[in-house]
Structure 1
Amino acid sequence: MKAFDLHRMALDKAPLEFLGEVALRSLYTFILVFIFLKLTGRRGVRQMSLFEVLIILTLGSAAGDVAFYDDVPMVPVFVVFVTLALLYRLAMWLMAHSEKMEDLLEGKPRNIIEEGELAWEKLKHENMTEFEFFMELRLRGVEHLGQVRLAILETNGQISVYFYPDEEVRPGLSILPSYCRERFVVIPEAGYYACMNCSEVMEFSAGDRKPCPRCNHHAWVKASTATRVT
């Protein structure tokens, strides 16, 4: 084998004319994917559920193989696309007629904030970091959790947020970046403080040094009472 053989590096053993076949195969798979998305509805191009991601990944694997490999026939791939389309339609029908099937394939929405505090027991089962979660809330104009009456993690990964009216905003954990929040183990002055770990809000006197009764964490930040600016 010759080192730095440009033809081998670019095409291996395939002739130059094979590039035209790759272009044709790519057009073929593009059309099949387009037809699949049209048949399954516009949900296919929005935020996807876990089940929809599974379908698309399977679809992409079949499309990639037939586009690049000369020994992969095109008709069986068409059968794969038809099978997936029928499977998707069947799954949609089953979910429309069975709540248990819908929960199995799509998952359930989960409350992640309730009455200004993290729904701790529910949130810790979700595969979402604090950075991602707080970023999503900040993008919706949330400064601290006390502004939020209810936040729901939807099955497609989006977060639905329902706010308190300004006059009902309560003290809450600030979700600004960490450099904007000073942490305390010993409370410097009387007031409301929020647990850095679970968002529990408590009223303290100056000099208090107590763990969080909810999660036993020792770091606190001053609870914010800022109202939303619209």
Structure 2
Amino acid sequence: MKAFDLQRMALDKVPLEFLGEVALRSLYTFVLVFLFLKITGRRGVRQMSLFEVLIILTLGSAAGDVAFYDDVPMLPVLMVFITLALLYRLVMWLMSHSEKLEDLLEGRPVIFIEEGQLAWEKVNAANLTEFEFFMELRISSVEQLGQIKLAIMETNGQISVYYYPDDEVKPGLCILPEGIERYTTVPDNGDYACNKCSAVYAMKAGEHRLCPRCAHPEWSKASRAKRIT
């Protein structure tokens, strides 16, 4: 085999006319995917559940094969799409009648923040770093966790945030990326937030202790900032 053979790299063994067939096959699979999404009543892409992502990936694999490979017939791919559409409808019906099956395939919403405190073990269990989670909160204009009454990770991966009114905002862990000093020995009297679990405690100047909630040694001054809307 000759390296950097432009003919092999561009077309390999297929004739130039096959590009027209690729265009037709691509249009064919595009129409099939479009019809599938219309028939199943698909919501927006950001609202996909795990099960629905699996369906779409399977469709994409079938569509890609029939679009690019000359030895893949088109009718069997149509059968794949019909089967998946029927499977989708069947599973949706079964989930509407079985909460256990729905939990297995779709998952359950998970509370990540409750009354200004972070459930860090649930964040880690969801394969989400605190940095990624805090980034999502900052996009929603959250400066510190005491502004949040409840934050829920939905089954589609989105985060629903419920806020305290301004007059009920609590002191909390600041989640801005810069300008937050960390202490193992606190310099002044005041409220300090644990940098791991976000629990807030009143501490005295010179005090050095592990967080009673998670045994973490680092603290930062609790923020009382209200939301900017």
TM range (shorter): over 0.9
**CA offsets 1:74-93 (integer angstroms, 9 cap, x no match):** 11100000000011111111
Once the two structures are TM-superposed, the CA of residue 124 in structure 1 deviates from its matched residue by 3.0
- Match runs of 1:43-62 below 5 Å: 43=43, 45-62=45-62
Give the letter aligned to residue 159 of structure 2.
Answer: I
* Residue of structure 1 equivalent to 2:205: 206
- Aligned to 1:172, what secondary structure does the other structure show? coil
Aligned: 1:151 with 2:169: no
* Residue of structure 2 equivalent to 1:127: 127
Normalising by the residue count of structure 1, what TM-score does the alignment of the two structures yield?
A: 0.96
- Aligned to 1:43, what secondary structure does the other structure show? coil
Give the letter aligned to residue 17 of structure 1.
Answer: E
* Residue of structure 2 equivalent to 1:226: 225
Once the two structures are TM-superposed, the CA of residue 47 in structure 1 deviates from its matched residue by 2.3
Aligned: 1:196 with 2:200: no
- Match runs of 1:1-230 below 5 Å: 1-43=1-43, 45-177=45-177, 179-230=178-229
Alpha-carbon distance between aligned partners in 2 of 1:5 and 1:120, rounded to the nearest angstrom: 54
Alpha-carbon distance between aligned partners in 2 of 1:229 and 1:21, rounded to the nearest angstrom: 55
- The CA RMSD measured in Å over matched residues stands at 1.2
Contact residue 50 and residue 105 of structure 2 kept, 8 A = yes
- Judged with a 3 Å threshold, the aligned counterparts in structure 2 of structure 1 residues 47 and 127 are, in CA distance, closer, same or farther, namely same
Give the letter aligned to residue 71 of structure 2.
Answer: D
Once the two structures are TM-superposed, the CA of residue 5 in structure 1 deviates from its matched residue by 2.3
Alpha-carbon distance between aligned partners in 1 of 2:88 and 2:141, rounded to the nearest angstrom: 36
Alpha-carbon distance between aligned partners in 2 of 1:203 and 1:165, rounded to the nearest angstrom: 23
- Aligned to 2:83, what secondary structure does the other structure show? helix
Alpha-carbon distance between aligned partners in 2 of 1:60 and 1:163, rounded to the nearest angstrom: 39
Give the letter aligned to residue 229 of structure 1.
Answer: I
Alpha-carbon distance between aligned partners in 2 of 1:44 and 1:209, rounded to the nearest angstrom: 50
- Judged with a 3 Å threshold, the aligned counterparts in structure 2 of structure 1 residues 155 and 44 are, in CA distance, closer, same or farther, namely same
Alpha-carbon distance between aligned partners in 2 of 1:121 and 1:130, rounded to the nearest angstrom: 10
Alpha-carbon distance between aligned partners in 1 of 2:86 and 2:214, rounded to the nearest angstrom: 48
Q: In percent, how many aligned pairs have the same letter?
A: 73
- Aligned to 1:180, what secondary structure does the other structure show? coil
**Structure 2 spans left out of the alignment, 5+ residues:** none
Once the two structures are TM-superposed, the CA of residue 44 in structure 1 deviates from its matched residue by 5.5
Give the letter aligned to residue 124 of structure 1.
Answer: N
Alpha-carbon distance between aligned partners in 2 of 1:32 and 1:42, rounded to the nearest angstrom: 14
Alpha-carbon distance between aligned partners in 2 of 1:44 and 1:172, rounded to the nearest angstrom: 34
Query: Which 4+ stretches in 1 moved above 4 angstroms?
Result: none
